Amino acid sequence: MMKVAIIGYGVVGSGVYDILKENRGGIEKRCGESVAVKYVLDIRDFPDHPEREIFVKDFDKILSDPEVGVVVETMGGVRFAYDYTKSALSAGKTVVTSNKELVALHGHEFFRLAEENGCRYLFEASVGGGIPVIRPLARCLAANEIDSITGIINGTTNFILTKMYEEEQSFEDALLQAQRLGYAEKDPSADVDGLDVCRKIAILASMVLGKRVGCGDIPTCGIRGVTDDDMKWAESAGCAIKLLGRAVFRNGRAGVSVEPAMVHKTNPLANIGDVYNGILVEGNMVGHVMFYGRGAGKLPTASAVVADIVDAVRQPGYCGEFSWTDAGDTAFDPAELESEFFVRMCEGSIAAAEKAFAVQDKFYARHDGDIGFITEMMSKNEVNKLLSGIDGVKSVMRLFR
C-alpha cells in the first residue's frame, strides 16, 4: 500500500483527499496497489473531519515516516512549500504539486534533487488545472518540434473578460463576481496582473526547451487596462479579447509573452469562455492540437494531482522527461514576433495613420470619435516605431486569426 501525505488542506488538497476516497477502487486498479492518505498537514484544525487523527502540524512527522512515499504539496506560496519540498525530495519521497509559483521558480532545483535521490517531482496540476497538458506535451507530442504554445491559462481572467464581453459588465463588477464565486485567488492581482499566466507559460516553455525560462524574461501585462470600449471594438472587428500566454520557439530559444490580445472568432481560442482554459499547441509534424477544459477549481485540479500520484506509484524512480535545467540564455524578445495589430486612435489622427500604415484594405471603422484599423503582419517593435510620431493612440493589441 502506498501512503501519501497531503501538505495544505485547502481547496485542492481537500479535493485530493476526496478523490482518493471516492475513486479508491479504480485508483487501486490503475496503481496495482492501494493508495491511502496517512497524514494531512495544515496549520488549521479540522475538528469535524471524519479522520481527525491524520491531521498533523509538524512536517518532521511526515519526513521521518518511511511509509510515506508521496508528498502532495498543495499549500501554495513559496516560503514553506520550498523547504518542505526540498526536504521531502532529499529524503527520497516523490513530491506532487499544483504550486505553479514554486515550479516556475525552483522546478530546476527540484528535478535535480529528485534525480539525485531516485524519486520524482511532478506538476501536471500546475498548468491548466484539470486539463492534461504537461504529460501530453512531453510524451504524446514527443515526435514533434514544438513551434508555439498559445494559451488561455487563467480561469479567473477568462471569466472576467467573458462577462465584460458578453454581458457588458465593468471590469470591477466582473472581478467581484469572480471573487464571490471563489474563482479568483486570495489576492486577485496574481490573476488580473498576469503573474499566474506568466508562471504557467514559463513552466510550459521551460519544459519544451528543457531549459529554464525565467518569469523575469517574460514581458507580462494583465487585464486591468482592458476597457468596455476595447470590448466593443473587438466585437466590431469580429474578435474576442483574451489574456494569452504565448511561447514561440526558435533555434533553441523561446519568445514568451503575457498580454491581452484580440482573437478572431475563427480561432478556436476565441470561443473559450467562462472559467475554461484552452491551450493551442503547434507541433511541426502534428500541426495544431488543442487542450480544453476546466483550468481551475477543486476537483479538476485535484484530478490532475491524483493522476500524478498514480504515475508516481506506477513508476516511482526518477524519470527526467518532464524536467528542465537552469541553463543559460533561453529567451528572445517577443516584441520581435510578427502578428497583425489592432490599433485604436482619435479620429483626428487618421491622416497620420494612413500615411504610416497601409490600412486601406483592412478593417477600418469609426465609433465615437475614434478610428480602429488592423495592421499588416509586423513586429511589435515595428508597430511602435510607426506609431511613435502619432498623437491620440488609445490602444494597440496583437490580433490573432
* Whether residue 29 lies in the annotated active site: no
Residue 259, burial from CB neighbour count under 10 angstroms (0-12, 13-18, 19+): buried
| Distance of closest approach, residue 127 Cβ to ligand HSE, in angstroms | 8
Q: Specify whether the backbone of 331 is left (phi greater than 0), alpha (psi in -120 to 50) or beta.
A: beta
Q: How far apart are CA 401 and CA 390, in angstroms?
A: 27
Dihedral pair phi/psi, residue 81, rounded to 5°: -60, -40
Compare residues 131 and 310 and give the one whose CB is closer to ligand HSE.
131
Determine if 154 is a binding residue for ligand HSE (CB under 6 A). Answer: yes
Stretch near ligand HSE under the rule CB under 6 A, chosen from 148-156, 256-264, 357-365, 389-397: 148-156
Residues 315-354 that bind ligand HSE (CB under 6 A): none
Determine the residue type at 355: K
Compare residues 8 and 295 and give the one whose CB is closer to ligand HSE.
295
Compare residues 255 and 300 and give the one whose CB is closer to ligand HSE.
300
Euclidean distance between the first and final Cα of the chain, in Å? 51
Count Cα atoms within 13 angstroms, Cβ side, for 161: 36
Q: How is 30-64 classified by DSSP, letter by letter?
A: HHTS-EEEEEEE-SS--TT-TTGGGEES-HHHHHT
| Distance of closest approach, residue 183 Cβ to ligand HSE, in angstroms | 6
Cα of 377 vs its chain's centroid, Å: 27
Q: How many residues bind ligand HSE (CB under 6 A)?
A: 10
Which of 200, 211, 242, 298 is the catalytic position? 200
Determine if 129 is a binding residue for ligand HSE (CB under 6 A). Answer: yes
Contact pattern from residue 264 through residue 303 relative to ligand HSE, giving x for each residue in contact according to CB under 6 A and a dash for the rest? -------------------------------xx-------
Dihedral pair phi/psi, residue 308, rounded to 5°: -65, -40
| Distance of closest approach, residue 101 Cβ to ligand HSE, in angstroms | 10
| Distance of closest approach, residue 190 Cβ to ligand HSE, in angstroms | 7
Q: How is 287-354 classified by DSSP, letter by letter?
A: EEEEEEEE-SSHHHHHHHHHHHHHHHHHS-S--TTS--B--S--EE-GGGSEEEEEEEEEGGGHHHHH
Determine if 193 is a binding residue for ligand HSE (CB under 6 A). Answer: no
Stretch near ligand HSE under the rule CB under 6 A, chosen from 18-26, 183-191, 283-291, 350-358: 183-191
Residue from the set 28, 101, 191, 193 that interacts with ligand HSE by CB under 6 A: 191
Q: Tell me which residues are annotated as active site.
A: 200
Residues that bind ligand HSE (CB under 6 A): 129, 154-156, 183, 185, 191, 196, 295-296
